[in-house]
Chain A
Amino acid sequence: MAGNREFFNRRLHSLLGVIPIGIFLLQHLTVNHFATKGADSFNTAANFMGNLPFKIVLETVVIYLPILFHAIYGLYIAFTATSNISRFGYFRNWMYIIQRVTGVITLIFIAWHVWQTRVAAAFGSEVDFDMMAEILSSPFMFGFYLVGILSAIFHFANGLWSFLVSWGITVSPRSQKISTYFTMVVFVLLSIVGIRTLLAFI
């Protein structure tokens, strides 16, 4: 496998984006959605997640390492790309560039989000409804979270489309068109989940 390290890395990058990172995103959005049912409901769900057995192993294997690889290799991919959207304003070229931009935004957002919640928790803060309500009471942070969450969801939904192409699952133009519609529906639905959750905190 020495000769085709790039092939292996790109495929791994694509796979990790869906499994486990994409699965984790779905789970995270779902659990946070308990916030729409009130503070107690959210706290119960957050406590359940926060007290899972082997938490540090789960976090490391399912979240930290995959995201670290996906982020670092993703930056390499993003910065070896150029934008020629002004000359070629096709739909897929727009998606191509938005995928790279949202990837970078998502990375910045996740770094901040982990710092503000998980790292704070490691230093003794209580991660609960009040913590999020306090963070989101600032209009700037609310905007930052909104952009970050929508970027993450778009990056996941459109990444699902390219995952299907990169692994050779959708080959024909028609299958790729149908998966475009499908992944955009995923984007819209998950965005509703994310925005509803955000609004529940204010």
Chain B
Amino acid sequence: MAETKTVKFIITRQDTPDSAPYDEEFEVPYRPNMNVISALMEIRRNPVNSKGQKTTPVTWEMNCLEEVCGACSMVINGKPRQSCSALVDKLEQPVRLAPMKTFPVIRDLQVDRSRMFDALKKVKAWIPIDGTYDLGPGPRMPETKRQWAYELSKCMTCGVCLEACPNVNSKSNFIGPQPLSQVRLFNAHPTGAMNKAERLEAIMDDGGLANCGNSQNCVQSCPKGIPLTTSIAALNRETTFQAFRNFFGSDHV
């Protein structure tokens, strides 16, 4: 048989949430235009490592396969990103896959991202419109502002910004850039702005906005190009005013 081209993968695996991680190598037959997920699928189909030993299939998460859901994020050759949009042809080989260690590892490349969803609840990243009667249509949003807000709404809670942030770690309780930028989004919405102070106060709590150390890795890493550091700086300005209002009192309504 003619020699088939293969791609070498070195995958950081972990059997249980508490067990020690270890590396395992795999040789996957090359196919044109393959992405990292297709290679992981090939390993799942035929779970044999490069030594020829049968092993357990590698666990990972995926959903949309078009870089909008954020589920398949992992560390690929040192950088956190989505494995669906990581094309093997554009990666240095051997390809190293590891879980995003900022989050608790469940198994292999699968991590528990619930801290981000908890953070969204904490900062009230929604617009309350429910009432006991029909409140009618809300205020209109200017088109230019809608276009601007759309960029912030692209966040898919993938966790790449938290993985890149040197201040999101086990020593600190920093909530990270992702929920902060959502505060900016919901406070910019004409209806959402009615509860602006609640969200600002949520991020002025311990572990909130002030813990940002301005390394600005988040904005460099965000796969959606969300201006995270601009959001953070803008919130710094708004919380400055909010802090003065809280301290001195204000008749600004």
Contacts and interface: CB of A to CB of B under 8 A. Distances in A.
B227 A6 contact: no
Interface in B205-253: 205-211, 213-217, 220-221, 227, 229-230, 232-240, 243, 246-247
Interface in A137-170: 161-162, 165-170
B78 interface: yes
Interface stretch (B28-36, B45-53, B164-172): B164-172
Contact of A4 (B166, B208, B216, B233): B208
A1 B233 contact: no
Interface string A1-12: 101111111110
B204 A4 contact: yes
B214 A168 contact: no
B166 A168 contact: no
Given A84-B164, A88-B217, A93-B166, A167 B236 contact: yes
Interface residues of B, number: 39
B240 A167 contact: yes
B91 to A, nearest CB: 16
Contacts of B230: 171-173
Given A165-B233, A167-B240, A93 B215 contact: yes
Contact of A5 (B206, B217, B233, B239): B206
B76 to A, nearest CB: 12
B79 interface: yes
Given A165-B214, A168-B236, A168-B237, A80 B209 contact: no
Contacts of A167: 236-237, 240
Contacts of A166: 210, 214, 236
Given A82-B166, A88-B217, A96-B166, A168 B233 contact: yes
A90 interface: yes
Contact of A6 (B79, B166, B208, B246): B208
A88 B164 CA distance: 7
A6 B233 contact: no
Interface string A71-104: 0000001011111100110101101110000000
B78 A87 contact: yes
Contacts of B229: 173, 176
A80 B236 contact: no
A14 B217 CA distance: 21
A6 B216 contact: no
Interface centre among B169, B215, B232 (most CB of A within 10 A): B215
A16 to B, nearest CB: 14
4 pairs of A and B residues whose beta carbons are closest in the complex: A168-B237, A96-B215, A10-B210, A168-B236
Interface of A: 1, 3-11, 77, 79-84, 87-88, 90, 92-93, 95-97, 161-162, 165-173, 176
